[in-house]
Amino acid sequence: MRQQKRERHGKILAALGLASNLRVTDLARQLGVSTETIRRDFDELTHAGMLNRTYGGAVSSLGASNTTGAKQDLFHAERQRIAEATVTQVADARILLIGSGATTVRVAQQIAAQLKNITVVTHAFGVAQALANNGTIEVMMIPGLYHPEEASTTGGHAIVFLQSLYVDYVILGASGLTGDGPGSAVPEIAAVNAAMLGRAEKCIVTADRSAFNLHYATRYADWPRVSKLVTDAQPPPALLNTLRKSQVELLVV
């Protein structure tokens, strides 16, 4: 029961990163629980300073740093396991592309601790900062417009730059994982992710269980284009069936 609550809280915070406000009835229907359960979740998250209750819903808390950081606090251990497992999948790489997100920053930290003499191309400042701890890793920043909420570069300059690259692996995060594919809560990030995916021999998507069946309008890939999904729990049956049909290798840690 406690794990289910943590998963709901993660989904609520992720949804708040996309919408300016949330409605109790809408979330209850989306998550398949009662409105009373959502109200209790809102009360607990308000008490933790992660959102503010409103009549019939909730809005982002001005005291919260951002929803990505709050979600990272909820899934610290899960993200760490995902990061450790992901690094073992790219140990033979010479050139990597890494997207933005809380989980990919964790992956970068593990890469800095375990790999050497590789080149990493990224648009995420958090990823670059994590890699700076290893002097043998060459870090190449993708140019573009700065997106303050994601601490990443986006836009046409980033996409044009990526067209000249070819790498061994791309490692991407995801706000949501549905039968249609991995998606992002931020359209600008989804566009860069799609461009990254097209420049890599293999694509690894990293996401914790809170992303399962969370729908966003900005899907950045079809599942057949993804080589591996690294996550911390078995996906729901329908999603698992889609992954198998799409020949996506599933690594549960």
Half-sphere exposure of 170 (CA within 13 A, CB side): 26
Query: H helices within 94-198, ranges in order?
Result: 102-114, 125-131, 156-162, 187-197
By mean pLDDT, which of 19-23, 128-132, 191-195 is the weakest? 19-23
With 60 as the cut, is the pLDDT of residue 69 above it?
no
Class of the CATH-defined domain 75-252: alpha beta
Q: Is pLDDT of 61 > 70? A: no
What residue segments make up the domains of the chain, in order of their start? Answer: 2-68, 75-252
Name the nearest CA neighbour of 213 among 179, 251, 173: 179
The CATH architecture to which 2-68 belongs is Orthogonal Bundle (1.10)
Model confidence over 114-149: pLDDT tens digits?
A: 999 999 999 999 999 999 989 999 999 999 999 887
The mean predicted confidence, pLDDT, of the chain is 89
> Mean pLDDT over residues 177-204, rounded?
95
Please name the residues in contact with 32: beta carbons below 8 A apart, sequence gap of 6 or more: none
Report the predicted TM-score, pTM, of the whole model to 2 decimal places.
0.76
Return the pLDDT at 67.
44
Average pLDDT rounded to a whole number, residues 75-84: 90
Q: Are 128 and 139 in contact (CB under 8 A)?
A: yes
Q: Per-residue pLDDT tens for 87-115?
A: 999 999 999 999 999 899 999 999 999 99
